[in-house]
Amino acid sequence: MTEPSTSQAAQASPSGSAEQAPQFASVDEVVERLAGAGYLASNAVATTVFLADRLGKPLLVEGPAGVGKTELARAMAAGTDSELIRLQCYEGIDESRALYEWNHASQLLRITAAKDESWDATREHVFSEEFLLSRPLLTAIRNEDPTVLLIDEVDKADVEVEGLLLEVLGDFQVTVPELGTITATRRPLVVLTSNATRELSEALKRRCLFLHLDFPPADLERDIVTLRVPQLDDELAASLVRVVGALRELELRKSPSIAESVDWARTLLALGAETLDEETVRATLGVILKYETDQRKALSELRLDHMLSSTDTAGSSAAARSANPAPSGSSVS
């Protein structure tokens, strides 16, 4: 039996919509394109993104706040030259904010101005495209250009909102009773993010591929920091990552995110810091810890003097290893 070619594989889509070529030719290309957009992806992340694109399935990315879930969607959009359409979920969001609503004020004005017309003629006009306000889900479905639809923090939305998503994510179509069913002519890449503050429904999960993201290993986070802030000294970057990793091991109200690590690196660069000492950490702690209770706990439990002296020793050892490199074991992609 002959295996399907790449073009044949691209023809299958969950919604039965028009044939569509995949955005990525291989897992390696995913890694390359995301890196070009400033996102360093592990092989597991790149493989899941590749499969989401190839299979036409939404990607559900779950993990604690600040690990780069939203940034992954941004990088996917940038790496594929796609438009990013974002639905930010929150408690109380409903169909009128997620899907569509009618412009009632304009409809009333149109009805008032149509005194001499029959109701049938007026009704046909007021429920036309002219008065339809498209929200992110409908906008993404109707977009004919390459699109990444980001449904951010879906766990913050009420359970009822998941029902709205099932039709969109299952068939990539939206039903507007007055206009009929609108089916995607070009299927968007869909990314849902969740901080796991509540369990999502099994029906929603079945429609998605799942990816769990956690805070990256120290080596990878150092690479991320130096990629975003290339002027930062390597030893200073290593010290920064070491302190951030120690902070995340404490029971804080909010652990530092990767973005805050990058912000801290830019802060140290702006201050002209050459080393990370206890005084500098105390002066700039507000960049990475946004609650006063977290700052007090960090200062009382972190033992900065011991940690920073250990960092200096580790930096010297790393410099020695660079001068006399050992055989390579494994690498972080």
Strand 83-88's sheet: what is its strand order?
Answer: 83-88, 147-152, 189-194, 59-62, 209-212
Residue 309 pLDDT greater than 70, yes or no: no
Q: How far apart are the first and last CA of the chain?
A: 36
pLDDT at 113: 81
**Residue 293, token pair as written in the block:** 């209770």
Element housing 237 (H / E): helix 234-249
Q: Determine how many CB atoms are found less than 10 A away from the CB of residue 187.
A: 21
Yes or no: say if 110 and 126 are a contact pair by the CB < 8 Å rule.
Answer: yes
Q: Half-sphere exposure of residue 94, counting CA atoms within 13 Å on the CB side?
A: 3
Q: Compute the distance between CA of residue 302 and CA of residue 321 in angstroms, rounded to an integer.
A: 28
Q: Compute the distance between CA of residue 145 and CA of residue 188 in angstroms, rounded to an integer.
A: 9
Residue 12 pLDDT greater than 60, yes or no: no
| Parallel/antiparallel/unpaired status of strands 100-102 and 132-134 | antiparallel
| Phi, psi angle pair for 103, to nearest 5° | -80, 85
Beta bridge partners of 148: 84, 189
Mean pLDDT of the chain: 85
Rg (CA), the chain: 25
Q: Could you say which architecture CATH assigns to the domain 6-95+135-212?
A: 3-Layer(aba) Sandwich (3.40)
Cα dihedral 153, 155, 159, 162 sign: positive
Confidence of residue 6 (pLDDT cuts 50, 70, 90): very low
- What residues does each domain of the chain span? 6-95+135-212, 100-134, 218-323
Burial profile 43-68: b = 16 or more Cβ within 10 angstroms, e = fewer: eebbebbbbbbbebbbbbbbbeebbb
Output the pTM of the full model: 0.81
Cα dihedral 317, 318, 319, 324 sign: positive
| Parallel/antiparallel/unpaired status of strands 59-62 and 189-194 | parallel
| Phi, psi angle pair for 258, to nearest 5° | -65, -40
Give the residue carrying structure tokens 């507007």: 176
Give the residue carrying structure tokens 């498209």: 134
pLDDT digits (tens, 9 = 90+) for 191-247: 999 999 999 999 999 999 999 999 999 999 999 999 999 999 999 999 999 999 999
Confidence of residue 190 (pLDDT cuts 50, 70, 90): very high
Residue 293 pLDDT greater than 70, yes or no: yes
Map residue 211 onto helix, strand or coil: strand
Contacts of residue 142, Cβ cutoff 8 Å, sequence gap at least 6:
134, 182, 184
pLDDT at 15: 44
Rounded to the nearest angstrom, the gap between the alpha carbon of residue 304 and the centroid of all alpha carbons in its chain is: 33
Q: Compute the distance between CA of residue 92 and CA of residue 161 in angstroms, rounded to an integer.
A: 9
Yes or no: say if 179 and 142 are a contact pair by the CB < 8 Å rule.
Answer: no
Confidence of residue 272 (pLDDT cuts 50, 70, 90): very high
Rounded to the nearest angstrom, the gap between the alpha carbon of residue 44 and the centroid of all alpha carbons in its chain is: 16
pLDDT digits (tens, 9 = 90+) for 52-105: 999 999 999 999 999 999 999 999 999 999 999 999 999 999 989 999 999 888
Residue 314 pLDDT greater than 50, yes or no: no
Residue 323 pLDDT greater than 80, yes or no: no
